[in-house]
Amino acid sequence: MKLAYWMYAGPAHIGTLRIATSFKNVHAIMHAPLGDDYFNVMRSMLERERNFTPVTTSIVDRHVLARGSQERVIDNITRKDTEEHPDLIVLTPTCTSSILQEDLGNFVERAQLDAKGDVMLADVNHYRVNELQAADRTLHQIVQYYIEKARKQGNLPEGKTEKPSVNIIGITTLGFHNQHDCTELKRLMADLGIEVNEVIPEGASVLNLKNLPKAWFNLVPYREIGLMAAKYLEQEFGTPYIDITPMGVVETARCIRKIQQVINEQGGDVDYEDFINEQTLHVSQAAWFSRSIDCQNLTGKKAVVFGDSTHAAAMTKILAREMGIHVVWAGTYCKYDADWFREQVGEYCDEVIVSEDHGLIGDAIARVEPSAIFGTQMERHVGKRLDIPCGVIAAPIHIQNFPIGYKPFMGYEGTNQCVDLVYNSFTLGMEDHLLEIFGGHDTKEVITKGISADSDLGWTKEGQAELNKIPGFVRGKVKRNTEKFARERNISKITVEVMYAAKESVGA
């Protein structure tokens, strides 16, 4: 047992659901107790999704405990098959079904007999993997399923596309700024004259997965999701993959140079050096920002970085290499991938921290007192407590981290966004600091008084106590309305009763 208040990565089934619901016309059925479908709320709220989230639950209740699921799971699968005609139904195990050890594989086989669409059991173990690992695995599983199916049916397309083309692998629902990154990456590919063969899983149809081998190469922008599928495609078809995250000016260039190499190795003849040069010096503002005096002021300022492997590693490199900021420590909660992370950031920070314990991370922040934090929503909160500004760079995230405006983190526009994020975090901190030194914007006492300030009315002790229970941000309004009410009725002592009578009369 572990005492835990907060977790960075969710449980395994969330990962499977993120993959399943990213595809078009795929339905997930969770084998879970009532209330475990919280994923639907998150997707509907955070992504402001207009469509019903294609996830239903085959409920595990007392009867199931006593007698097993029996026909119930199969009935639920075939019912969903007739109601919505999905191409694929993914039966998703949860922590509960992990312990029940029902033969879900058998249910899937039997349901497949009646279902028109395909049915599959997600192969994830709740107690062994987290959300990100499960997502990686499920994507691999679905890709493999449809490649093998096409192979069996003999309709796997032969050969590559005529022009250089790419599969972008790993864009998912509820991923940090994934939609914007996807747009930016497509734009980048268009600028490079590369056709986008398939983007998976977001918005893709499983029926098109058989086309994956036609691409010249695969691009995996996020370390956490997509690598397994890319490695599978490399092994089956020899398709090379690129796992350099194009985040930050230097890394974007490195990613493009790698693309150039991969294309030329397959008989293409491309040279992207001029493009990189033009973008770096004149289109993206990030390189120029590094030279500007604004950025000079950031030299040697202390920062800490924490997040998933992809974003924490990329951010650490941007801060240290491109802006001359002193990264005291960089960390990740992706413990299972710790070696990669150490290797990536080792030379750009003083210390590497790998932990899933938010308390330890909070202490590590307090210990070094950085000028800015780049982390998740949890670190943002630690920052609030310690009065240190924080830029959010990775999940777990809140609704504010699903902006409607265009905010990629990748590609050349992404470099601009990163500059704003970093610069705004630091200047805000500086402003705060200066205010403190000079004692605030307005050091004179406020002269004008509000209505409630010179009250001729008395509050009884109980009334005052009750008033204090009202949340601070509306207390003033309640007080004013109550006093107005009392004055109109010539009541001189405000009791609890008067207070609530006022509320009833004016809806205060």
Partner 1 sequence: MTVAQPEAINFECETGNYHTFCPISCVAWLYQKIEDSFFLVIGTKTCGYFLQNAMGVMIFAEPRYAMAELEEGDISAQLNDYEELKRLCSQIKRDRNPSVIVWIGTCTTEIIKMDLEGLAPKLEAELSIPIVVARANGLDYAFTQGEDTVLAAMAARCPEKAPVMESEKEERNAIAKLLNFGKKKEDVASDEAEYVKHTPLVLFGSLPDPVVTQLTLELKKQGIKVSGWLPAKRFTELPTLEEGYYVAGVNPFLSRTATTLMRRRKCKLIGAPFPIGPDGTRAWIEKICSVLEIEPKGLDEREKQIWASLEDYLQIIRGKSVFFMGDNLLEISLARFLIRCGMTCPEIGIPYMDKRYQAAELALLEKTCAEMGIPIPRIVEKPDNYNQIQRIKDQNIDLVITGMAHANPLEARGINTKWSVEFTFAQIHGFTNARDILELVTRPLRRNNSLKDLGWDKLVREEAKV
- Contact residues: partner 1, CB under 8 A: 1-7, 10-11, 13-14, 32-38, 40-42, 44-45, 48-53, 56-57, 59-62, 65, 76, 83, 85, 94-96, 99-100, 126-128, 130, 378, 381, 396, 398, 466, 469-470, 496-497, 500, 503-505, 507
State the nearest-atom distance from the C-beta of 69 to partner 1, in Å. Answer: 13
**Three-state SS letters, 110-175:** HHHHHCCCEEEECCCCCCCCEHHHHHHHHHHHHHHHHHHHHHHHCCCCCCCCCCCEEEEEEECCCC
Residue with Cβ nearer partner 1 (283 or 496): 496
State the nearest-atom distance from the C-beta of 389 to partner 1, in Å. Answer: 16
Strands (E), 66-209: 88-93, 118-121, 165-171, 195-201
Do 170 and 220 contact (CB within 8 A), yes or no?
yes
CA distance 334 to 505: 56
Residue from 163, 165, 265 nearest 211 by CA? 165
Do 88 and 142 contact (CB within 8 A), yes or no?
yes
CA distance 220 to 340: 15
Do 421 and 248 contact (CB within 8 A), yes or no?
no
Residue with Cβ nearer partner 1 (13 or 180): 13
Please give the structure tokens belonging to residue 128: 């062994």
> What's CA 154's distance to the chain center, in Å?
38
Query: Which residues fall within 8 angstroms of residue 268, CB to CB, at 6 or more apart?
Result: 164, 216
Work out the angle between the directed axes of helices 358-368 and 377-386 (0-180°, nearest 10).
40
Residue from 389, 149, 369, 40 nearest 379 by CA? 389
State the nearest-atom distance from the C-beta of 396 to partner 1, in Å. Answer: 8
Amino acid occupying residue 412: Y
In the three-class reduction of DSSP (H, G, I as helix; E, B as strand; rest coil), residue 217 is classed as strand
Residue with Cβ nearer partner 1 (94 or 332): 94
Residue with Cβ nearer partner 1 (296 or 400): 400
Cα–Cα distance list, 251 to 269, 419, 458 (Å): 22, 15, 67
Residue with Cβ nearer partner 1 (210 or 358): 358
CA distance 248 to 253: 9
Cα–Cα distance list, 232 to 17, 212, 334 (Å): 21, 11, 22
Catalytic residues: 294
Residue with Cβ nearer partner 1 (86 or 213): 86
Cα–Cα distance list, 473 to 82, 91, 467, 478, 505 (Å): 52, 47, 12, 10, 21
State the nearest-atom distance from the C-beta of 387 to partner 1, in Å. Answer: 15
> What's CA 463's distance to the chain center, in Å?
46
Please give the structure tokens belonging to residue 261: 């190499």
Do 376 and 367 contact (CB within 8 A), yes or no?
no
Residue with Cβ nearer partner 1 (6 or 237): 6
Query: Which residues fall within 8 angstroms of residue 12, CB to CB, at 6 or more apart?
Result: 124, 125, 126, 128, 129, 130, 131, 133, 134
CA distance 238 to 278: 33
State the nearest-atom distance from the C-beta of 436 to partner 1, in Å. Answer: 23
Residue with Cβ nearer partner 1 (249 or 393): 393
Please give the structure tokens belonging to residue 287: 């390189």
State the nearest-atom distance from the C-beta of 441 to partner 1, in Å. Answer: 27
State the nearest-atom distance from the C-beta of 22 to partner 1, in Å. Answer: 17
- Let me know the angle formed at the C-alpha of 165 by 137 and 174, rounded to the nearest 5 degrees: 40
Do 27 and 20 contact (CB within 8 A), yes or no?
yes
State the nearest-atom distance from the C-beta of 56 to partner 1, in Å. Answer: 6
Residue with Cβ nearer partner 1 (3 or 453): 3
State the nearest-atom distance from the C-beta of 80 to partner 1, in Å. Answer: 9
